[in-house]
């Protein structure tokens, strides 16, 4: 399931070469998956909110085949860091549990990974790895699963084997979107549809240089706050708290109130952003990005001084809007400008 572009072909070639070095012969299957950038709607996927992520040109490729050692083996270009292999192993274990009749899946595998998605930068390097492993292992076993099932299986692998209580946005986007295509996903119903981006909207990525690890606790703590707020407000999906009930948020303990305020407003902003794109109102779209950043910074406490500085500078320089993107605690910011779509991000 390669995307067929020259860039992903080159990365698949690197994964194949790694496999060959590890095992001494050619892999039996190779597949890739792209990273994603979220345009708007952060920290609301696990609250049943709507999100608007987009696949990017950067890829992770996986070459897979029999293992020489009698157990699963993992090789990557990330020298000295083996934490990533828990994600790959988790996907293999979940595939085996889901498809126990497959003999190919049951056999020990060597998984070789090459990628040009920076790790910990908010571009979903983990979801791309998970989906690429799933695609390669399924191709090797000659089994097809719909993208929806691949996304849910990879999310489960991340929960159970990597210990990150992530939402569904990343795996869904990576399993469904083509580079440059945005997807509106309702994370409560899992209804999704592509959203066209105006040709005169340029989205660029700016790296804060700070790397996060979502397992470091901040992410799980935010999710726990959101679940506690939902419990106290007696609502299944906090993002969908009806507007008439928003005043009840003020009665929550201060920190939970700020978290809840972010969630309900961010969900509303996603709907507004899609409407603004639909009518070509780039100015309003940009404002919503900047409002989202302020909310993630002040109410959700997931931005960093480096990300805040990037956003402030972009706005001073005349950008339509800018915001941190993804889980936060470092990583990337996106900047929206009027102009031709930027290569690399679109
Ligand atoms: C990470 C998680 C996603 C989502 C974002 C924040 O990328 O994997 O599920 O919660 O953070 O929007």
pLDDT at residue number 136: 98
Which residue puts its alpha carbon closest to atom 9 of ligand 1? 167
The C-alpha torsion from 308 through 309 and 310 to 316, rounded to 10°, is 110
Closest by CA to 39, choosing from 166, 171, 185, is 185
CA of 72 to the centre of ligand 1 (A): 28
- Is residue 329 within 8 Å of residue 218, measured between CB atoms? yes
Which residue puts its alpha carbon closest to atom 8 of ligand 1? 166
Averages of pLDDT over runs of 10 residues in the chain (346 residues) are 65 96 96 97 98 95 93 86 88 98 96 93 94 98 98 98 95 89 95 94 94 80 98 98 98 98 98 97 98 98 97 98 95 94 51
Which residue puts its alpha carbon closest to atom 12 of ligand 1? 42
Run of H or E including 184: strand 182-186
Distance, in Å, from the CA atom of 119 to the CA atom of 181, rounded to the nearest integer, reads: 22
pLDDT at residue number 33: 97
pLDDT at residue number 77: 83
Domains of the chain, by residue range, sit at 6-194, 197-338
Catalytic residues: 170
| DSSP per-residue codes, 57-75 | EEEEEEEEEE-SSSS-EEE
pLDDT at residue number 133: 98
List the CATH code of the domain at 197-338.
Answer: 3.30.70.890
- Is residue 132 within 8 Å of residue 33, measured between CB atoms? yes
pLDDT in tens, 174-219: 999 887 779 999 999 999 999 999 999 999 999 999 887 766 789 9
CA of 42 to the centre of ligand 1 (A): 7
Question: What are 299's two structure tokens?
Answer: 């109410």
CA of 41 to the centre of ligand 1 (A): 10
Closest by CA to 306, choosing from 178, 181, 210, is 210
CA of 239 to the centre of ligand 1 (A): 15
Closest ligand 1 atom to Cα of 45: 10
**What's the CATH class of domain 6-194?**
alpha beta
Closest ligand 1 atom to Cα of 219: 11
Closest ligand 1 atom to Cα of 42: 12
Classify residue 272 by burial, with Cβ atoms within 10 Å: 0-12, 13-18, 19+. Answer: middle
- Is residue 48 within 8 Å of residue 237, measured between CB atoms? yes
Rounded to the nearest angstrom, the gap between the alpha carbon of residue 239 and the centroid of all alpha carbons in its chain is 19
Residues with beta carbon inside 6 Å of ligand 1? 38, 42-43, 45-46, 166-167, 169-170, 326-327
| DSSP per-residue codes, 229-290 | HHHHTT-S-GGG--GGGGGGGGGS-HHHHHHHHHHHHHHHHHHHHHHHHHTT-HHHHHHHHH
pLDDT at residue number 219: 94
List strands edge to edge, sheet with 332-338: 201-207, 332-338, 321-324
pLDDT at residue number 6: 74
CA of 141 to the centre of ligand 1 (A): 30
| DSSP per-residue codes, 74-143 | EEESSTT--TTHHHHHHHHHHHHHH-TT-HHHHS-EEEEEEE-SPTTSSS-HHHHHHHHHHHHHHHHTT-
pLDDT at residue number 28: 97
Which residue puts its alpha carbon closest to atom 2 of ligand 1? 166
């Amino acid at each position: 399931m390669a995307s067929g572009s020259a860039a992903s072909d080159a990365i698949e070639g690197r994964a194949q070469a790694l496999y060959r070095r590890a095992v001494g012969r050619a892999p039996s299957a190779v597949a890739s998956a792209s990273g994603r950038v979220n345009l708007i709607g952060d920290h609301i996927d696990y609250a049943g909110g709507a999100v608007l992520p987009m696949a990017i040109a950067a890829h992770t490729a996986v070459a897979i085949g029999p293992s020489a050692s009698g157990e699963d083996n993992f090789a990557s270009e990330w020298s000295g860091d083996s934490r990533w292999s828990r994600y790959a192993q988790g996907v293999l274990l979940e595939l085996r549990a889901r498809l126990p009749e497959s003999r190919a899946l049951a056999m020990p595998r060597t998984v070789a990974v090459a990628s040009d998605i920076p790790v910990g930068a908010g571009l979903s390097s983990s979801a791309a790895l998970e989906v690429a492993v799933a695609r390669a292992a399924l191709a090797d076993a000659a089994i097809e699963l719909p993208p929806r099932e691949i996304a849910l299986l990879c999310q489960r692998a991340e929960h159970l084997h990597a210990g990150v209580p992530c939402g569904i946005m990343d795996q869904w986007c990576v399993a469904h979107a083509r580079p440059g295509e945005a997807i509106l996903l309702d994370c409560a119903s899992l209804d999704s549809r592509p959203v066209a981006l105006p040709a005169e909207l340029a989205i660029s990525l700016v790296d804060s240089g700070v790397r996060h690890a979502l397992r470091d606790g901040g992410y799980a703590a935010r999710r726990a706050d959101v679940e506690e707020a939902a419990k106290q407000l007696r609502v299944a999906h906090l993002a969908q708290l009806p507007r008439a009930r928003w005043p009840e948020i003020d009665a929550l303990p201060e920190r939970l109130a700020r978290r809840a305020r972010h969630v309900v407003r961010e969900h509303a902003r996603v709907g507004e952003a899609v409407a603004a794109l639909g009518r070509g109102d780039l100015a309003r779209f940009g404002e919503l990005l900047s409002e989202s950043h302020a909310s993630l910074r002040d109410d959700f406490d997931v931005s960093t001084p480096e990300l805040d500085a990037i956003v402030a500078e972009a706005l001073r320089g005349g950008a339509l809007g800018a915001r941190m993107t993804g889980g936060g605690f470092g990583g990337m910011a996106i900047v929206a400008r009027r102009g031709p779509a930027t290569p690399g991000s679109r």
